[in-house]
Amino acid sequence: MWDFEQGEVLAFDKPLHWTSFDLVAKVRYNLCRKLGTKKLKVGHTGTLDPLATGVVIICTGRKTKLIDKLQYDVKEYVATLQLGATTPSYDMEKGVDATYPTEHITRELIDSTIPQFLGEQWQVPPVFSAVQINGKRAYEYARKGEEVELKPKLLVIDEIEVLEFDPTQMLLTIRVVCSKGTYIRALARDIGERLNSGAYLKALRRTRVGDTRVEDCWTIDRFLEKLKD
């Protein structure tokens, strides 16, 4: 049986609209009730945006010491991009701010463009992100309408492939295996620019972290039921 104070590493399928912190808080609250304690170390190994679903690894007790190490595990995503438009947040958190021609976008163009993102890439993080600038998060500046300059970061994309392209709706679905620090929202932006158009993230699911796959994860409801045993 679990020993949450000595430490456990748990994998969850984060629900849509929850922050990673929401998930940690829910797990911590229920574990503290179960154990009859007011304090328990609980943390996650990598933030997932509220509009994304999928694998979030949570560590408890002494296993929280593993968080720094586990953050470097390779991650896999399935992302759906809306081509021909952009938003300030690069996803659906903000409304469309510009539209672009898409008549020139074909499956052949996509198939020749996507492989260009393999390997080491310099990526500028989204302004609506948790990147630290002068002690504040980038999104704090962005939400006040203040402009900030974000420096590009070096990352690695190990695998990227087209899963589906719907030319009638200009929806592109891709699978990406990448390193820590990769923003799939920013990748959507860059793909749109490389296609001489625009793009933003319409849906995102983290399907794997390290060797942990989403089909092996707990839903929060199943986990809370199991705690009652």
Closest C-alpha to 174, from 74, 45, 83, 51: 83
Q: Is the pTM of this model over 0.85?
A: yes
What are the pLDDT digits (tens) for 21-49? 999 999 999 999 999 999 999 999 988 99
Q: What is the pLDDT of residues 113-159, one digit of tens each?
A: 999 999 999 999 887 666 666 666 666 656 666 677 778 999 999 99
49 catalytic, yes or no?
yes
pLDDT value for 126: 84
**b/e per residue, 173-204, with b = 16+ CB within 10 A?**
bbebbbbebbbbbbbbbbbbeebebbbbbbbb
Q: HSE-up of 59 (CA within 13 Å, CB side)?
A: 16
- In this prediction, residue 150 carries a pLDDT of 79
Catalytic residue, chosen from 49, 97, 158, 221, is: 49
- Determine the pLDDT at residue 229: 84
**Residues 157-204 pLDDT 10s:** 999 999 999 999 999 999 999 999 999 999 999 999 999 999 999 999
Q: Which residue has the higher pLDDT, 100 or 127?
A: 100
Distance CA 89, CA 67 (A): 28
State the pLDDT at residue 143.
Answer: 67
